[in-house]
Amino acid sequence: MLGNTFGRLFRVTCCGESYGKGLLTIVDGVPPGLKITKEMVQAELDKRRPGQSPIDSPRKETDQVEIVAGLLEGVTTGAPIGMVIYNVDTQKIHVDQYRAVKDVFRPGHANFTFFVKYGEYADWCGAGRSSGRESVGRVAGGAVAKFILAREGIEVLAYTAESHGIKMRPMSYEEIRANYRKNDINCPDLETAKKMEEDLHKVREEGDTAGGIIEIVARGVPAGWGEQVFDKLKATLAQGLMSIGAVQGMEFGDGFQCATATGSKWNDQPFVEDGAIRFKTNRCGGLLGGMSNGEDLVMRIAVKPTPTISKDQDTVDVYTMTPQKLSAITRRDITLLPRVAPVAEAMVQIALVDSMYMAAAYDSVAKLDKHWKEIGRPRHKATGQNP
C-alpha cells in the first residue's frame, strides 16, 4: 500500500488500522530545540477521541500517545519524531461482528475497492486502513505542526458550519474563537448547535446518520506561500483535506459562488493599510494564483454521513455474487463532523508548515528586497495557541 506520507520538506508518515495493535506516526523535518511535550500532542488527540458524547461512536479508545523518538531531555534534537498510540478497545465481540459480514460489501465503505485492489487479503476488520481510525496518526503529526506554526503567530481553527442542512449564522473570527469546542457538535453558534444536536438525536432514532460541512480558517499566514502551477498552496491544502476519508468536496472562500458571479462582484479589490496591501473582501479565501495573499485562509469541506447505518441496504456477497441485505450492528458515529474537524486542522497545519519551509528555502536563494515581504505581511497575527 502506497501513499502513506504527506509533505515534501516537512513530512508526516503514518501507519495503522482500525483493529490493529496500534498506530504509528513519524514526523520528519522537525527543527531542534523545540519543547514539544506528550501533553501537547495528547490535547489534540483528545479532540477526535471517540466515546466523548452521545453523538460519537461508543468505542472506548483512550488514544494515549507515547513519544518514542526525536526528543532528548524534553527537547527535539532534529531527528524524526516518532509516536505510537495503541488500540485498546478491540474486543472479540466486535471483531466477530465484522467477521460475520466480511464477504458482503458494506454500502458507502471502501471494502469493494479494497477487495478489487488487494483481493482476499484486504483488511475487513472495522474498515482496516480506510477506517477513520487511521486519522489518529494525522492528528499526532498535526500537533507537531501546530507547535511550529504557533511560533510564527499562525493558528488554525476548524468547526461545524452546517449539519444535516442546519447552518450556523455568519460570525466573526473572534466570536468563533471564543466559542470554539463549547458543545458536542463543535459549532461556535451556540443556539444553532442545540438545534443541530437535537436533530442528530432524531436521526439516530431512525437508525440513520447525517453529513454536514466543516469550515477551516488559518489566521496569520503571510502572502507568497505556495509555488506556481502544480505546487500551489491551494493544491497542497486540497490534497491534505481531500485525503480525509469522509470528505466528498471542498471550496476556498466563497467557492462555488464564483460560478454565478460577475468579475466586478467576485474580485477582491486591494487597498493600502499601514504600508501593506489589504483586500476589501476575501471571496477568494486568502489565495491568489494559488498562493497566500495575507488574508485569512478560509476553506470548507463537505463531510458525508457515516456509511454504517441500521437500515436495510442492498448489497452483494463477493464470493457467491448473489444479492444480499445488510443492516449493520457495528459501532458508529451519528455524524462524523466533530471528530473530522481536528483531522482537518491537522492536515491544514501540516500543509502550512511544509509550505513555510518551501517558502523559506526559496527566499534564502532569491534574496529579494525585504520591501516585498513587508507589503505582504498577514493582516492578522494569531494571539496564541488554539483555545
Per-residue pLDDT of the chain (387 residues; tens, 9 = 90+): 789 999 999 999 999 998 889 999 999 999 999 999 999 999 999 999 887 888 888 788 889 999 999 999 999 999 999 999 999 988 888 888 888 888 888 888 888 998 899 988 888 888 888 888 999 999 999 999 999 999 999 999 999 999 999 999 999 999 999 999 999 999 999 999 999 999 999 999 999 999 999 999 999 999 999 998 999 999 999 999 999 999 999 999 999 999 999 999 999 999 999 999 999 999 999 999 999 999 999 999 999 999 888 889 999 999 999 999 987 777 788 999 999 999 999 999 999 999 999 999 999 999 999 888 899 999 888 765 556
pLDDT of residue 135: 95
Does the residue 111 lie in any domain? yes
User: Taking the CA of residue 61 as centre, how many other CA atoms within 13 Å lie in the half-sphere pointing to its CB?
Assistant: 28
pTM, 2 dp? 0.95
Query: Residue 18: which of 118, 88, 83, 70 has the closest Cα?
Result: 88
- Amino acid at the residue 367: K
Contacting residues for 377 by C-beta, under 8 A, at least 6 apart = 222, 223, 276, 294
Burial class (CB in 10 A: 0-12, 13-18, 19+), 32: exposed
**Which grid cell is 231?**
505546487
Maximum CA extent, the chain: 71
Q: Which three cell numbers stand for residue 225?
A: 506561500
CA 91 to chain centre: 28
What does the alpha-carbon distance between residue 104 and residue 328 come to, in Å, rounded to a whole number? Answer: 11
- Contact present, 88 and 136 (Cβ < 8 Å): no
Q: Are strands 247-252 and 297-303 parallel, antiparallel or unpaired?
A: antiparallel
- Look at residue 386 and tell me if it is in a domain: no
Answer whether residue 364 is part of any domain: yes
Which residues touch 360 (CB under 8 Å, ≥6 apart)? Answer: none
Amino acid 96: pLDDT: 86
Amino acid 379: pLDDT: 85
Amino acid identity at 45: L
Residues of the domain holding 235: 5-374
In a 10 Å sphere around its CB, with 0-12 CB exposed, 13-18 middle and 19+ buried, how is residue 33 labelled? Answer: exposed
Show the cell assigned to 96. Answer: 466477530
Q: Which of 149, 120, 351, 130 lies closest to 241, judged by CA? A: 351
Domain count for the chain, please give it. 1
Rounded to the nearest 5 percent, the helix, strand and coil shares of the chain are 35, 20, 40
User: What confidence score (pLDDT) does residue 385 get?
Assistant: 56
Cell numbers given for 311:
437500515
Q: Of 353, 296, 385, nearest to 142 (Cα)?
A: 353
pLDDT score recorded for residue 179? 97
302: which strand partners? 213, 249
CATH of the domain at 233: 3.60.150.10
Q: List, in order, residues 6 or more apart from 76 with CB less than 8 Å away.
A: 30, 31, 32, 33, 34, 36, 70
Q: In this structure, is residue 385 part of a structural domain?
A: no
Supply the angle between the helices 337-366 and 135-151 in degrees, to the nearest 10.
Answer: 50
Contact between 91 and 97 (Cβ < 8 Å)? no
Which grid cell sits at 324? 444480499
- 214 lies in some domain: yes
User: Does an H or E element contain 132, and which?
Assistant: none
Residue 384 lies in a domain: no
* 387 within a domain of the structure (yes/no): no
Q: Report yes or no on 379 lying in a domain.
A: no
Residues contacting residue 349 through CB under 8 Å, at least 6 positions apart: 142, 145, 146, 149, 156
- Which residues of 228-273 form beta strands (DSSP E)? 247-252, 270-273
* pLDDT score at 270: 96
